Amino acid sequence: MLDIKFLRENPETVKENIRKKFQDNKLPLVDEVIALDIENRKTIAEADALRADRNRISKQIGALMAKGEREEAEKTKKLVTEQSERLAALEAKEVELEEKIKNIMMVIPNIIDPSVPIGKDDSENVEVERFGEPLVPDFEIPYHTEIMEKLSGIDLDSARKVAGNGFYYLTGPIAELHSAILSYARTFMIDRGFTYCVPPFMIRSDVVTGVMSFAEMDSMMYKIEGEDLYLIGTSEHSMIGRFIDTIIPEEKLPYTLTSYSPCFRKEKGAHGIEERGVYRIHQFEKQEMIVVCRPEESPMWFNKLWQNTVDLFRSLEIPVRTLECCSGDLADLKVKSIDVEAWSPRQKKYFEVGSCSNLGDAQARRLKIRVSEGKNKYFAHTLNNTVVAPPRMLIAFLENHLNEDGSVNIPAALVPYMRGQTKIG
């Protein structure tokens, strides 16, 4: 959410940012919120003046009574009553106007970083760099669920009976590999100085609206019926929510946290054939990284976060590339975002396995996460990035380490987490 003062003073900048995100339908909102802001400030000024006048006149009542000027005192009381009624109406109007302004400001997108490429959708994202040599073996690689089934590692049919489409049972060596990757990722991030956390897996609505846009909320979140609770779509939600309505002493920054959680997502809409199996599902587990820092440090942390994911995948001998998200592919709260994509030897192309985002002060402004520096206070910057989400990591892992006989090699870094096994199958 933008600062209303910034929007008031820079309306054309805000409008140009909306155009860069190809959301022209939101352009009228800028003028609308400016008009509401003018009306609200007039209402506040009138209320303040009336409040001061009422207080001044109220003090006269006692003096008039002491002088025996009862009639004049009663007239003054009546005037105070009238002013109080008008003041109550102004205060109610102020609350109404502020709510309208807030609701509009919540859907006006954040100002994107000048380095973000301009494009309408993810088809115009820009490749930045490749890490590792993408190889294609001289034998055919089956679809990932076929690899898992041959290893007795997945049961989709039973999952459909129990929970419907978008769920799975992992068993045997694939279930073990899934857990090993998460354990390895946790240790990997702790070794890089991040504090490990296990957060709540449900959050209240005020946290939901603080960490994401309304569009994201509708497409992702599962609501608990009869409760003010939502299942998290990623641990970033509850991890950033941990700081809601807090004032952080500047010397405590940065907070560098890595969190484990299950994730629950609606995943609305039709998906292509390559998104069957465990690629796009309603429930999965993930290791995340979150940073809360000073504004001037957020670009540096942004680069560190995506590099952590690249380094983890390379340590498991999986080729990856980074992809800069264009303006039209950025969620409204994001300032800048880079996707990490892993190489798929079967498809002979890369696919997304993680996303690193700098949200500037958007989440902090919504959740009132402030930093104190002496007498000064300012909003923190928040960032998040996927360390690893095993469903997609499993796809990349199995395809890149599959042997022609159907067995799967275990890279040296993961062997200690796989009970010493160097191969499964």
Catalytic residue among 54, 186, 242, 265, which?
Answer: 265
Q: Which helix (H) or strand (E) covers residue 231, if one does? A: strand 230-231
Strand, helix or coil at 417? Answer: helix
Could you tell me if 387 and 187 are in contact, meaning their C-beta atoms sit under 8 angstroms apart? Answer: no
Joined tokens for residue 105:
């400001």
280 catalytic, yes or no?
yes
Give me the catalytic one of 355, 365, 366, 399.
Answer: 355
Residue 401 contacts residue 132 (beta carbons within 8 Å):
no
Whether 265 sits among the annotated catalytic residues: the reply is: yes
Instruction: Respond yes or no: is residue 176 known to be catalytic.
Output: no
Task: Evaluate the omega torsion of the peptide bond into residue 254 and state whether it is cis, within 30 degrees of 0.
Answer: yes
Among 51, 280, 294, 314, the one annotated catalytic: 280
Among the listed residues 186, 235, 392, 399, the single catalytic one is 392
Sheet strands (E) in 88-235: 126-131, 154-155, 169-170, 195-197, 202-203, 222-223, 230-231
CA-based nearest residue to 184, from 116, 293, 258: 258
Contact 352, 329 (CB under 8 A): no
Q: Which amino acid is at 19?
A: R
Structure tokens at 2: 């933008």
Pairing of strands 336-344, 349-358: antiparallel
Radius of gyration, alpha carbons of the chain: 28
| CA dist list (Å): 31 to 20, 137, 242 | 18, 58, 34
Q: From the candidates 46, 72, 149, 352, give the one annotated as an active-site residue.
A: 352
Backbone angles phi, psi at 337, to 5 degrees: -150, 140
- Residues with catalytic roles: 265, 280, 352, 355, 392
